[in-house]
Amino acid sequence: MQTSSNQSSLKLRIFKQGFTVVLAVLLSACWAYSIKPPVAEIDKLGTVLIVPVESPPLEIIPDPIEQRIPAYAHYRNMAVEYSSPTKIYQTSGGVTIAGRVSAPDDEQDLVIVDERATPSLMIGTGTEQTWTPTLVLARQAMTQLGASNVKAVMSRDYYRLPMADADRNAGLNYWHDAIVKWYGQDAVEADYKPYAGVDAVLELGLGSYRIFEGQTSIQVLMKLINPKTGQVIARTHARDFTVKEAGQAWIHRDSEPFKQLVSEMSSQLLKQGLNDIGWRL
């Protein structure tokens, strides 16, 4: 009996890993083609402005509401349909998630994000209150480029995704469409000319950012821009997933284990992307 159980568990793990690989291949088909400039052009860049792009909410499948409120699992068996609203909320550790919430049970542990409010864009003044994975990326980029004798300067503003404020809700399809649109643009809408002395602008965003059946998946997207013309001179992305247990229990309380896992994964993907662009790290 034990052997049969172990075999079933092994088959389930193999299926999950295979499904994740197939899903990654399917999702990669929608991204714009990569752009790689001559290495000689990259070597001329002495100062780079690092700009974190607005991060999407974390997606978790299955929804963690059943972890927070075990009784919720029994609601599905009720004769009368029971549903809970889907919202953007923050854990006590500051991780922003799109998922189901239940009032009043969630009111003590979660902070519901006002979807009509404009998120704070000032990140250089110490006013940020939420944990933002693209800000983590930006700080890692400063460290990695600095080690290669490239002067990296942090932007004071996030780059807002091209989407209506009304769409900044728990509908993750809106976020995905906006990220695909941003990544595919060959010219930026932002005006980087006022940044005197900057040779290039590096925008850093996230594509895939989810926990699926305990597997954490992250995709780092990056675009290198000529600040004088606004043209994209380099574009690449790198993606990975891990079956290391980052389960939903990691999200609650201070969320530090999950944050550390994301930091470790994004650092490696960032290094891969910067090398793809032409920096020899």
User: Rounded to an integer, what distance in angstroms lies between the CA atom of residue 135 and that of residue 156?
Assistant: 11
Higher-pLDDT residue of 9 and 278 is 278
Residue 82's pLDDT is 60
* Mean pLDDT confidence for 74-100: 78
Question: Could you tell me the pLDDT band of residue 113, with boundaries at 50, 70 and 90?
Answer: confident
Model pLDDT for residues 213-233, shown as the tens digit of each residue: 888 999 999 999 999 999 999
CA dist., res. 169 & res. 56, Å (int) = 10
Cβ-proximal residues to 184 (8 Å cutoff; 6+ apart), any chain: 31, 32
pLDDT above 60: residue 51: yes
Quick one: pLDDT band at residue 20, thresholds 50, 70, 90?
Answer: very low
DSSP reduced 3-state for 257: helix
Q: What is the mean pLDDT of residues 239-260?
A: 77
Q: How confident is the model at residue 156 (pLDDT cuts 50, 70, 90)?
A: confident
Task: Please tell me the least confidently modeled range out of 21-25, 29-33, 168-172, 247-251.
Answer: 21-25
**Cα 173 to Cα 75, 98, 169, distances in angstroms:** 27, 11, 10
CA distance 9 to 16: 11
Closest C-alpha among 257, 260, 259, 252 to residue 91: 252
Q: Look at residue 271 in the predicted model and tell me its pLDDT.
A: 97
pLDDT surpasses 90 at 185: yes
Residue 1 pLDDT grade (very low, low, confident, very high; cuts 50, 70, 90): very low
The chain-wide mean pLDDT, for the chain, equals 82
Predicted local distance difference test score (pLDDT) of residue 63: 86
Concatenated DSSP letters of 172-193: HHHHHHHHHHHHH-SB-SS--T
pLDDT at 145 over 60: yes
Task: Categorize the per-residue pLDDT at 17 as very low, low, confident or very high, splitting at 50, 70 and 90.
Answer: very low
Sorted by where each starts, the structural domains of the chain and their CATH numbers stand as 31-62+119-277 (3.30.160.150)
User: What's the pLDDT tens digit per position in 255-266?
Assistant: 888 999 999 999
Average pLDDT over residues 196-217: 93
pTM of the complete model: 0.83
